Amino acid sequence: MDERFQPTMDYAEQLDAQDELAAFRKEFYLDEETIYLDGNSLGLLSRRAEASLTEVLSAWRDYGIDGWTEGKYPWFTLSEQLGEKLAPLVGAEADEVVATGSTTVNLHQLLATFYRPEGKRTKILADSLNFPSDIYAMQSQLALHGLDPAQHLIRVGSEDGCTLDEEAIIDAMTEEVAVTILPSVLYRSGQILDMERLTRIARERDIPIGFDLCHSIGAIPHELTTWGVDFAFWCNYKYLNSGPGGVGGLYVHRRHHGRAPGLAGWFSSDKAVQFDMDHRLTPAADTGAFQIGTPHVLSLAPLIGSLEIFAEAGIHRIRTKSLRQTRYLMGLVEAELDGMGFSFGNPLEDHRRGGHVCLLHEEAVRISKSLKEHWVIPDFRAPDVIRLAPIALYTSYREVWEAIRRLKEIMESREYEKYPKERGVVA
């Protein structure tokens, strides 16, 4: 923690005055009464995202079907254009990224392409802390190959229930593994895995490796191409603020370009011949080949404006502020909530921590409900996790300070005890 740290409102306001990203806050629609700390689940709407959505709606109104090739953002090439803008956030070349599908659909595509069980190499390597949807997709792909997921899906365990031991992952990279799928950042604890090291060792052992970037893209820098990552996939509606159900993203390293997509479809085609209507697919020469169906244009549209903001702010400046805010939040917890039953589930070291703080408490579900009543929006994960995510583009230090002040009041009054100890349908 910064030696100048003070758990005071004045200190929070000093940090805000020094914040070089503070001007971006006005880009977003904010309820001044509410402290929104759930941007790692769903980012807030920006005015530019709203404007780009309106522009695309206007093109539909004004051009009809000609909107595919006319207007400010022609729809036919929009997925590739947005892939070019996403590429700097993942450390990739423009033709290695495309905005398409959803997290799980893209994972199915990548597994259908890269999972090729043969001989003793039949297993998929994953982890026990991964988001359930990824596990469901892996189990489905194994079943499609006639393999028993109970036998052929390896899930590296966790000793503490929050973090993964990378040595255990490496030990599990045996000659039986056909492909490895891991999160870049663990969704509960915020632990960052050493993607560069894991990729290097996977490649030394001839194991294709891919990463789920849902909880890292827009929060931390990546160097996927330099590291040699085979593929990656993600959603854009968390830190990238593309809106609920916004179109996802997909990365495939250039060395795999020219490989036939495992799941072919209309938009897998080389665009120059797509409307030849030939029943023999000519795949695109780049990552565009791994698209499947027609892009969801209205769900792509908000990402146009959102990525303009990221280009101006810069991912390295965003990461610097994010780390400072999460350190500050942890310092406030230690100073103000000592003895109240909280502990950290996230790594304390900057290089191992993503964009959110994971607070552990046995009353997490009831505390989260009480926070909402006090206009602080956290994220609860069963059974005992409160995730708090200060978002560099729109969360102020004063808000972080105020959120912990309100949390302290809740704990001192034990107000949370009035709530039932059960989560809502959507946590």
Per the annotation, binding residues for pyridoxal 5'-phosphate are 103-104, 131-134, 212, 215, 237, 266, 294
Please tell me the distance from the alpha carbon of residue 410 to that of residue 386, in angstroms, as a whole number: 14
Neighbours of 16 (CB within 10 A): 16
DSSP 8-state assignment for residue 239: T
Which tokens in the block code for residue 415? Answer: 């107000």
Quick one: tokens of 32? 């001044």
Tell me which amino acid residue 424 is.
G
**What φ, ψ does residue 337 adopt, rounded to 5°?**
-115, 20
DSSP strand pairing (35-36 vs 376-377):
parallel
For residue 347, give the nearest of 153, 133, 188, 210 by alpha carbon: 188
The 8-class DSSP code of residue 43 comes to P
Q: What is the C-alpha to C-alpha distance for residues 122 and 151, in angstroms, rounded to an integer? A: 10
416 near 363, Cβ under 8 Å?
A: yes
Burial class of 385 by CB neighbour count within 10 A (0 to 12, 13 to 18, 19+): buried
Which segments are annotated as binding site? 103-104, 131-134, 212, 215, 237, 266, 294
Nearest CA to 389 among 132, 8, 2, 41? 41
**Spatial distance between the Cα atoms of 203 and 206, rounded to a whole number of angstroms:** 5
Q: Are strands 379-381 and 209-212 parallel, antiparallel or unpaired?
A: unpaired
